[in-house]
Amino acid sequence: MSASYNTSYVRCLFIFLSCLIFRITASGQNQVDLTPFMGKNSLSTTTNIDSTIHSLTIGIASSLNDKDTSKAISQMVILSDIYANNAQFGKAYDGYWAALLLADRSQDTASKALIYHGLGWLYSLYLRENLAIEYFNRSLQINKAAVAAGKLEKAQLIRDYYSLLTLHRKLNHLKVARQYLDSCRLLRREAPSVPNAYHDAEEGYILFMESKPEAALAILNKSKTTFEKKQDSYLVILYSFLGDIYKSLHNYPLSKSNYLAALKMIDRYQRHVDWKPGIYENLSEIYHLEGNEGQAYEMLKQSKYYTEQQFGSRSSNNRELLEIKDQFRIEKEKKQGMLQRQALEKLEGEKQIENLKAIILFITLIFLFLTGLLLYRYLRSKHQAEKKWLKQQQESERVKAKEILEIKNKELTTSTLRIIEKEEVLADLKERLHHQKAQPDVHEINKLLKTIDTSTYNNWEEFEARFASVNESFYKNLAEQFPNLSHSDRKICALIKLNFSSKDMARLLGISTESVHTTRYRVRKKLNLSRDVNLYEFIQNI
C-alpha cells in the first residue's frame, strides 16, 4: 500500500472517530437491547445508549493505539449495529466501512463476514436489494469457507440464511424465501439451542402472503407467547405482522392494538426504529377506514416525519450517507481504481501476446486442416486406385481361371478321346498280331510298325497343343529372336523348357537318345551359346 494511501487512511479514520466522540446524540435515558439478532459481537445487557456509544468510541481509539486491530473491528461493528438499530444509518454506514477497511488491511475474514452482513441490511433499507443480496451472499460464502475449514460451527450459517430469507420475503420472492427457511430449519436440527421462534414467525407471515391468514395467525400467536416470555425486541416485528393480518381480515381493533404494541416495543427497546414509518402509515389507513379522519391525519404526519428523519435528504443522521461523504469507501475505491489501471495495463500487454498467440494458433490450425484435407484426398485417391487395381486383378484372375478351366476341360476331353483311340488301336494291333502268330507276314508286320509310328506322332501333336495353350508366347518369342531354328529345334526347346530328360525326349519324339543329344548340340550353336551358359536357364528366360 502506498504512503499517500496510508496518510489518507489515517486521516479518514481520525474523521470517523471524531464524529463518534463529538456528535453523540443527546436523547436522554433511551434504553436499548444491544444484542444484534443472532450475532456474536454483542453486549449481553441493556444499558444507556449514550454511555455505551461513548465507551465504545473510547475503546476503539484505545484498541487502535494498542494496534489491537481485531478488537477495534469488533467494537466498530457493535457500534454500527447500535446506530443501525436507532435509524442513524449514515453513522452505521460509515462505521461499517471503517471496520471493513481495517479488516481488509488485517485480512480478518471473520470480521468481514459480520461487516458484509451489516451492510446488507443497510442497503436493503434503502431499497437497493441487489446490493443487499450481494453482501449477504458475501457473508455467507466467507462463513461457509470457515465451516469447511473447521473454524466455525455450521449453525452460525443460520444468520446469513435468515437474512436472505427475510429479504426475499420482503421482495415477495416467496419460493426463494421458503428455500432459505428450509435451510435454517435444517441447520437448527444440528443446533437445538438456536431459537426456532424466529423461523416460525417468518413462516407464519409467508403463509399470510400466500393468502392463508388463519394458518398464519395460529403460528404467529404461538410465537408471540414465546417472545413475550423472553421480552425480546423481536416483538416489534411480530406485533407488526399480526397487525397486517388482522387488517387484511378487517378486524381493525385487534390490528390497531398490535400496531400500537409494536410502537411501544420500539420505544422500549430502541430497536427496529425503521419500522415506525410503515406502522404509522398502516394506523392512518385503519383510522381512515373507521371514519376517524383527525386521528388518521395525525398518524400520517407521524409516518411522514419518521420517513423524512430516517430516509429523507434533510435528515442530519443520513445527510453524510446520501451526499456520499464516505471517505473510507472513496479512498478504498481510489486504491482499487489504481490497482485496476495497473492490472489493465498489464492485461493490455498480455492481450497483445494473446492476440499474437491466437493468430499463430489460427494459422497453424488452418495449415493442419489443409494438410489433413490434402492427405485425406491423397489417401482416398490412393485407396480408390488400389481398389480399382485389385478389382482389375480379380477380374483378370477370374478370366484367367475361366480360361484355364476351359483349357483343362478341353485337355480332359482330348485326353479321354486319345485314350479311347489308343485302346482301340491297341486292341486292333493285338488282334492282328494274334493272327500273325500262325503265319507271319512281313508286309503285314511293316504295316503294324507304321501304325505305331503314327501313334507316336499323334502323341507329340497332343503334347504340342497342350504346351502351346499354357505357354502362348513361347513359340512366338522364340521365332522372333531366333528365326533360323527349325521345327524340330523348336520341339527340343519346348521339351528343354519343361526340363525333360534326354530319355523322355527320345521316347516322346520317337527317336534315339543320341539323336536328342545331337539336336541339343545343334540348338546351342544356333543360339550362339558358349559352353559356360546353361541351355535350360537360357530357354527359361525366353
pLDDT tens-digit map of 253-310: 999 999 999 999 988 888 888 889 999 999 999 999 999 999 989 999 998 888 887 7
> Could you tell me if 263 and 272 are in contact, meaning their C-beta atoms sit under 8 angstroms apart?
no
Q: Evaluate if residue 398 carries a pLDDT over 90.
A: no
Q: What are phi and psi of 31, to 5 degrees?
A: -105, 145
Q: Which of 432, 452, 428, 467 is nearest to 507 (CA)?
A: 452
Contacts of 280 (CB under 8 A, 6+ apart): 263, 299, 300, 302, 303, 306
DSSP 468: H
- Please report the pLDDT score of residue 512 as a whole number: 85
Find, among 460, 444, 459, 533, the residue nearest to 494 by Cα: 460
Residue 55 is predicted with a pLDDT of 87
Q: What is the mean pLDDT of residues 537-542?
A: 86
Q: Quick check: 244 pLDDT over 70?
A: yes
The pLDDT, as a whole number, for residue 410 is: 66
Q: Which CATH architecture has domain 474-542?
A: Orthogonal Bundle (1.10)
- Residue limits of CATH 1.10.10.10 in the chain: 474-542
Mean per-residue pLDDT over the chain, rounded: 78
Residue pLDDT, tens place only, 19-40: 443 333 333 323 333 333 333 3
Percent of the chain residues topping a pLDDT of 70: 74
User: pLDDT exceeding 90 applies to what percent of the chain?
Assistant: 23
Residues 6+ positions from 319 with CB-CB distance below 8 Å: 90, 313
Q: Identify the H or E element spanning 431.
A: helix 327-436
